[in-house]
Amino acid sequence: MEKKISIAIDGPAGAGKSTIARRLAQEMGYRYVDTGAIYRTVAYFMDLWGVSPKDVDGVNRYIDELTIGIEYDEDGVQHMIMNGMDVTGDIRTQEISQKASLISAHAVVREMLLDMQRDIARQYDVVMDGRDIGSVVLPKATVKIFLTASAEVRARRRCNELAAKGQKANFDQVLKEIQQRDYQDTHREIAPLKMTRDSVKLDTSEMSIEEVIAAMKTIIGEKLGA
Ligand code: DC
């Protein structure tokens, strides 16, 4: 099989990874893989079974009961299928965000998802976003980009997103949750969020989505042309 192209996009919560990765994948005709959604699905499943995300024994006991499927609709939107059920809408709450961050620290969870993510990248050209794509999942990715922005800007963007969905958001609360997730995601023992030496860093605090996409296309174009 010919070697596939992979664009790895890592960065903290709310840096704009999914919006940008989805757009890029669409424009390039690649498959978009939102790996955070897979961790969210695990968190949602454990939550349904009443397993605390910090309960190592509980997570180990229930994980074998979980089958995760990923499907794409005609618009290229990624759907998460949990034991045959579409949970795409259910995993997008603040509560599941926090639980996903905690659940992602478990070795058994990361191992299960690692194979799944690598399998997709073996089969398709991908734009994959997450926390450990460039460092662990696809260390030989064709292009690695680290997207970041100040915690305040990320919290503001999250509040706007929630408002657009008609959900109330308190800025201070959202900021606190983002800072807590940043801490958890960068301090866990296995595959913590970090920028690899071969990543290109893009601070999007002062950039619009269009500017970020243009900058990323330049970075990708230079790598692919090289
Ligand atoms: O990208 P997101 O906010 O949907 O991710 C939810 C949580 O999942 C995040 O706080 C940490 C975890 N995660 C991870 O550990 N590794 C990834 N590649 C993607 C997400």
**Residue 107 has what pLDDT?**
96
Q: Model pTM? A: 0.95
Residue closest via CA to ligand 1's atom 4 equals 36
Ligand 1 residue neighbourhood (C-beta within 6 Å): 13, 35-36, 39-40, 97, 100-101, 104, 130-133, 181, 185
**Residue 124 has what pLDDT?**
96
Residue closest via CA to ligand 1's atom 20 equals 36
Q: How many CB atoms within 10 Å of residue 2?
A: 4
Distance of CA 51 from the midpoint of ligand 1 (Å): 19
Closest among 17, 14, 11, 21 to 171, alpha carbons compared: 14
**Residue 51 has what pLDDT?**
98
**Residue 215 has what pLDDT?**
96
**Residue 8 has what pLDDT?**
98
Residue closest via CA to ligand 1's atom 1 equals 36
Name the stretches of the chain with pLDDT < 50: none
Question: Which residue type occupies 43?
Answer: A
**Residue 165 has what pLDDT?**
85
**Residue 1 has what pLDDT?**
66
Residue closest via CA to ligand 1's atom 5 equals 36
Nearest atom within ligand 1 for CA of residue 18: 1
**Residue 208 has what pLDDT?**
93
102 CB contacts (<8 Å, ≥6 apart)? 43, 53, 54, 184
CA distances (Å), origin 151, targets 8, 60, 124, 131, 207? 22, 33, 33, 16, 15
54 CB contacts (<8 Å, ≥6 apart)? 102
Closest among 1, 215, 211 to 125, alpha carbons compared: 1
Tens of pLDDT, residues 133-176: 999 999 999 999 999 999 999 999 999 988 998 888 899 999 99
Residue closest via CA to ligand 1's atom 10 equals 101
CA distances (Å), origin 106, targets 3, 47, 89, 102? 31, 15, 24, 8
Nearest atom within ligand 1 for CA of residue 188: 15
Distance of CA 225 from the midpoint of ligand 1 (Å): 31
Q: Rounded to an integer, what distance in angstroms lies between the CA atom of residue 136 and that of residue 8? A: 11
**Residue 3 has what pLDDT?**
85
Nearest atom within ligand 1 for CA of residue 13: 3
Could you give all domains of the chain from N- to C-terminal order, each with its CATH number?
A: 6-224 (3.40.50.300)
